[in-house]
Amino acid sequence: MDSEAGEGSKPSKNVGLACFFKTNDASCSSNSYSMVRIVVFAAVLASIPMTTPSRSDANDRESLEHRIHRHVVMLADSIGERNLWRPGTLAVAAGYIRHELRRMGYEVKSQSFVVDSVEVENLEAELGGHGPDQDIVIIGAHYDSVVGCPGANDNATGVAALIEVARMLAGSRPALTLRFVAFVNEEPPFFQTGDMGSWQYSRRCKTNGENIVGMLSLETIGYYSSEKGSQNYPFPFSLFYPSTADFIGFVGNLSSRTLIRRVKSAFESHSDFPCESASVPGWLTGIGWSDHWSFWQHGYPALMVTDTALFRYHAYHTMEDTSEKIDYENLARVVEGLTWVAADLARIADFDLRAGLTEEHLDDH
């Protein structure tokens, strides 16, 4: 059901891990920084299994599930907790995302800034628009995790989806510019502050006069259940929405309602996976709980794609948010639908999902 309504003490830093960044810590020499980061990142890349392209529809879906699983396991299990107080793992996570996007042929740009004497970065890959307009569509996901949490669902699933949508659209010729952005610092204590990576990014877009016509924040999208009563809501949403946690949600403020309707329509046109949407005041509980909030602050239409997080997922923001809890089959269905949504928003007229599901266009060098 669609809904519209009226507007109405930090943990100490680990000195050893801080050496992954160019900080001012006297215990970190430039040589130790470079060597340690190279060794650890090499170990991470060496553990990445390669997948084999498949021809049948069933095998194509299975291959997509496998790749999503690989990304989530890498980020949540192999790398683990990643945030400003684990700067080493945060850097390795960024390196993994950069590597994955580059092997698809993308140029990956970095937007670096400093928070608490630690340099952090957003990562951006782009398909340039070939139409007359200068409009931009952004698909984004945050790659940090909250303190004390490996962050499988929140938000390795969102990052996995970002990577796979970018992979399936690689080589396309959109009429509008399509950007894939991995954001840092979404989690507390940076949440809804100027130190969020998405706030820094959207502010730069505004300063540069960029016309962003839609931003999708992929936020905690990997947990589903067919059990009655498995879905909860903040009041009053329980009066209007289903009690079974078997759907993906598209959520935003009133100013983004046109974008929400278009995204939901595009998703439903190409996927039979259940979806719900809500266009409501942004101050309502949960509505602004991701990177789309930053784009609202700078006047851009934006929405959150979510499984509703803590309203169905009991491991949210705990040590139990681990990779084996993710429903990879349904997540793959959602990612396929989101790929069609991105193609629709960016006006990729000749998009073929079947071709995108294979890996033949990857550059592994």
> For residue 9, is pLDDT > 50?
no
- Spatial separation of the C-alpha atoms in residues 93 and 81, rounded to whole Å: 10
- C-alpha 91/C-alpha 249 separation (Å) is 30
Burial 88-103 (b: 16+ CB within 10 A, else e): bbbbbbbbbbbebbeb
CB contact at 8 A, 359 and 53: yes
Judge whether 200 and 113 are in contact, CB under 8 Å: yes
Compute how many other C-beta atoms are within 10 angstroms of the C-beta atom of residue 107.
9
> How far apart are alpha carbons 192 and 199 in whole angstroms?
8
Question: What does the pLDDT read at residue 41?
Answer: 56
181-215 pLDDT per residue, tens: 999 999 999 999 999 999 999 999 999 999 999 99
Residues 93, 79: contact at Cβ < 8 Å? yes
Cα separation, 202 vs 212, in Å, equals 9
Task: Cite the DSSP H helix spans in the chain.
Answer: 15-18, 30-46, 57-72, 87-102, 157-169, 197-207, 257-270, 292-297, 328-345, 353-357
Burial (0-12, 13-18, 19+ Cβ within 10 Å), 139: buried
Instruction: Please tell me whether residue 183 adopts helix, strand or coil conformation.
Output: strand
pLDDT tens track for 30-84: 444 444 454 555 555 555 544 333 333 566 778 999 999 999 999 999 999 999 9
Is CATH 3.40.30.10 correct for 15-357? no
Say if residues 266 and 240 touch (Cβ distance below 8 Å): no
Judge contact between 127 and 172, C-beta under 8 A: yes
Q: What are the boundaries of each domain within the chain?
A: 15-357
Are the C-beta atoms of 336 and 271 separated by less than 8 Å? yes
The first and second tokens of residue 55, run together, are 């021809």
Q: Which residue has the higher pLDDT, 56 or 275?
A: 275
Of 340, 361, 335, the C-alpha closest to 352 is 340
Of the given ranges (9-13, 288-292, 301-305, 326-330), which has the lowest mean pLDDT? Answer: 9-13
Radius of gyration, alpha carbons of the chain: 19
The angle at the Cα of 153, spanning 187 to 342, to the nearest 5 degrees, equals: 90
pLDDT of residue 45: 57
Element (H, E) at 331: helix 328-345
Q: How far is CA 258 from CA 134, 184, 254, 265, 301, in A?
A: 19, 28, 9, 11, 9
According to DSSP, residue 175 is labeled S
Helix, strand, or coil here: 348? coil
Residue 350 confidence class, pLDDT cut points 50, 70, 90: confident
Dihedrals phi, psi of 37, to nearest 5 degrees:
-65, -40
What is the model's pTM? 0.84
- Sequence-separated (6 or more) residues with CB below 8 Å from residue 267: 248, 250, 273, 275, 337, 338, 340, 341
Q: Collapse the DSSP code of 58 into the 3-class scheme (helix H, G, I; strand E, B; otherwise coil) and give the result.
A: helix
